[in-house]
Copies of this chain bind each other. A is one copy, B any other.
Amino acid sequence: MKIQLALDRVDMDEAIAIASAVSDSVDWIEVGTSLVKEFGMQSIRTMREVFPHKTILADMKTFDNAAYEMKLCFEAGANVATVMGAAPMATIELCKRVADEYGAHVMIDLLNVSADKVDELRRLTGVTWCYHVSKDEQEGQGTSAVSLSLATRPTGVRAAAAGGITVDSIPHFSRLGVDILVVGSAITKARDPREAARYFREVIEENANERELVER
């Protein structure tokens, strides 16, 4: 299981400081939507400069104008970009097409997507589905990604989970076969982010080993 470090609601200096502290323990660095909207594509370019070899995800949350937005972030150095599952299929399919041209990858954010739309999304393979409970829902309703059912996930699609994820939820997501765990404040707001990230990695490895033993 990969760790995607979500960086949001910080300035670029803080984002770089946190990412530098934890980069050994995390797999993907997410430039969050708030950084994209506050600092524009400079946020992606800066991260690419500082981390030339890391996988960088641009949380574009694209809803329209897919070709232009995807090109923006891939040209700036992103390897992965998000599109909203609630967007029109034309937009989502266009994101995938542009990502393919760049050798990049698309993550579909399933936030607030209807069951019918989930069914429609099944026809698009080679992408990642991100099961997501939003920040505003977490704060308003006290929910987190642990409450989500991942039963809808088709074959040929990777799964990510995002929203209020803590170390305690690792066994749950490990059992569900989640590929990417999106972790924000449990690392970035920890007293010692480096130590928090290391602990996430450690518990993920333990769970992977245990599952391997069970499956033998």
Residues of A within 8 A of B (CB): 8-9, 33-34, 36-43, 60-61, 63-66, 68-69, 72, 84, 86-88, 90-91, 94, 111-112, 114, 134-137, 140-141
Contact (Cβ within 8 A) B8 A72: no
- Shortest A40–chain B CB gap in Å is 3
* A-B contacts, 16 listed (Cβ < 8 Å): A9-B65, A9-B68, A33-B65, A34-B69, A34-B72, A37-B37, A37-B40, A37-B69, A39-B41, A61-B63, A63-B63, A64-B134, A65-B136, A90-B136, A90-B137, A94-B136
- Shortest A57–chain B CB gap in Å is 15
Contact (Cβ within 8 A) B112 A88: yes
Question: 10 nearest interchain CB pairs?
Answer: A40-B40, A86-B86, A64-B134, A90-B140, A39-B40, A91-B136, A90-B136, A88-B112, A65-B135, A38-B40
Among A9, A64, A86, residue most surrounded by chain B Cβ atoms (within 10 Å): A64
Main secondary structure of the interface of A (DSSP, over half): helix
Contact (Cβ within 8 A) A63 B141: no
Contact (Cβ within 8 A) A41 B33: no
Among A34, A41, A114, A136, residue most surrounded by chain B Cβ atoms (within 10 Å): A136
Question: Which residues of chain B are near A69, meaning CB under 8 Å?
Answer: 33-34, 37
Contact (Cβ within 8 A) B38 A41: yes
Task: Evaluate whether A84 and B65 lie within 8 angstroms (CB atoms) in the complex, with A37-B40, A41-B37 already known.
Answer: no
Contact (Cβ within 8 A) B88 A137: yes
